[in-house]
């Protein structure tokens, strides 16, 4: 028996996406190919690795054991990938930066404009995701995150301390009491399936019987709602070089334990050896530094 390395990758994709078709999409191959190759792999291993059902593929006990080494292979494949990319030593090409929807919208999108003007050879791909992409595996090159990395292969490049504040439209502020409490405010927040995304859990812990007046699964819609005066939302009060006036003003309310936060610039350690990633990282640090001085 000999497991092809590509089959290991296939196996991991199925395990992580939870379905043959999901794995096919991730690997950009056809679903029948996934089906056949996994069948061959299972035959070679002599054990069933997934239970097929109408809602996908679930790992069996035998399959479960294969996941950790396959994940490690994926990490080192990411490392290999970065080592290969360090070869072209000119800061040009595609750099993938990930962040929360808000960060992407507020910071990274205008930053991308700045980058493309200053360095025409560099292209930015901004991946707006709720869940974390795996930087070690190379699912993205750089990330702006609210929590520092736990994985030892990742590097914390820069940290910016931020103040969080409650924002409302000017019109709404005018209608509110001079010093409103958190309970008194109408809130704009996430709808399922994002109930666990900031700031929902925080607001739920601060406000008994938290009931947002407006929910959505799209961050831009949330901002638009706040701008339209529908309700209040919590945002990091970051005034960077690209800050645009969105017609939102901060309220003088104490957010308690959530009054401050951080923005961390994170990447895989070896990613900084890739010239184009290093360049973008430097530009991003420059912007974050600039923010601090204001």
Rounded-to-integer distance, Cα 166 and Cα 185, Å: 10
How many residues touch its own copies under the rule CB under 8 A: the total is 30
Q: How far is the CB of 162 from DNA (least distance, A)?
A: 37
- Please spell the DSSP secondary structure of 11-31, one letter per residue: HHHHHHHSSHHHHHHHHTS-H
**CA 112 to mean position of chain CA atoms:** 16
Look at residue 208 and give its three-state secondary structure. coil
Determine if 19 is a binding residue for DNA (CB under 7 A).
yes
Determine if 45 is a binding residue for its own copies (CB under 8 A).
yes
Closest among 12, 92, 134 to 277, alpha carbons compared: 92
Q: How far is the CB of 80 from DNA (least distance, A)?
A: 19
Interface with DNA (CB under 7 A), residue from 55, 209, 245, 252 = 55
The partner in contact with residue 249, picked from DNA, its own copies, none with C-beta cut-offs of 5 to 8 angstroms by kind, is: none
Q: Which residues contact 72 (CB under 8 A, 6 or more apart)?
A: none
Q: How far is the CB of 3 from its own copies (least distance, A)?
A: 6
- Binding to its own copies (CB under 8 A): which residues in 58-87? 62, 65-66, 68-70, 72-73, 76-77, 79-81, 83-87
Residue 159 phi, psi dihedral angles, 5° rounding: -130, 135
Rounded-to-integer distance, Cα 270 and Cα 75, Å: 12
Segment interacting with DNA (CB under 7 A) among 25-33, 181-189, 252-260, 265-273: 25-33
Q: How far is the CB of 78 from its own copies (least distance, A)?
A: 8
Q: How far is the CB of 36 from its own copies (least distance, A)?
A: 17
Q: What does DSSP say about strands 142-145 and 248-250: parallel, antiparallel, or unpaired?
A: unpaired
Interface with its own copies (CB under 8 A), residue from 16, 25, 31, 47 = 47
Look at residue 279 and give its three-state secondary structure. helix
Query: What's the full length of the chain, in residues?
Result: 294
Determine if 202 is a binding residue for DNA (CB under 7 A).
no
- Binding to its own copies (CB under 8 A): which residues in 171-230? none
Interface residues toward its own copies, by CB under 8 A: 1-6, 8-9, 45-47, 62, 65-66, 68-70, 72-73, 76-77, 79-81, 83-88
């Amino acid at each position: 028996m000999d497991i092809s390395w590509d089959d290991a990758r296939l196996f991991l994709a199925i395990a992580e996406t939870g379905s043959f078709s999901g794995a096919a999409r991730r690997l950009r191959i056809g679903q029948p190919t996934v089906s056949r190759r996994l069948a061959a792999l299972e035959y070679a291993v002599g054990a069933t690795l997934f239970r097929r059902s109408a809602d996908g593929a679930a790992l069996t006990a035998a399959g479960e054991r294969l996941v950790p080494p396959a994940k490690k292979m994926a990490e080192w494949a990411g490392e290999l990938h970065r080592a290969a990319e360090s070869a072209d030593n000119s800061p040009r090409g595609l750099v993938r930066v990930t962040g929360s929807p808000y960060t992407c919208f507020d910071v990274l999108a205008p930053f991308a404009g700045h980058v493309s003007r200053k360095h025409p050879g560099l292209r930015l791909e901004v991946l707006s995701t709720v869940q974390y992409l795996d930087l070690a595996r190379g699912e993205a090159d750089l990330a702006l995150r609210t929590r520092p990395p736990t994985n030892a292969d990742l590097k914390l490049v820069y940290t910016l301390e931020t103040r969080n504040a409650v924002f409302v439209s000017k019109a709404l502020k005018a209608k509110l009491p001079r010093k409103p409490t958190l309970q008194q405010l109408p809130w704009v927040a996430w709808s399922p399936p994002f109930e666990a995304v900031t700031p929902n859990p925080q607001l739920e812990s601060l406000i008994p019987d938290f009931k947002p007046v407006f929910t959505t699964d799209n961050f831009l819609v949330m901002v638009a709602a706040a701008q339209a005066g529908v309700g209040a939302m919590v945002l990091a009060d970051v005034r960077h070089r690209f800050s645009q006036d969105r017609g939102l003003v901060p309220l003088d309310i104490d957010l308690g334990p959530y009054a401050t936060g951080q923005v961390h610039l994170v990447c895989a350690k070896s990613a900084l050896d890739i010239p184009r990633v290093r360049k973008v990282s430097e530009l991003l640090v420059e912007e974050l530094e600039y923010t601090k001085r204001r």
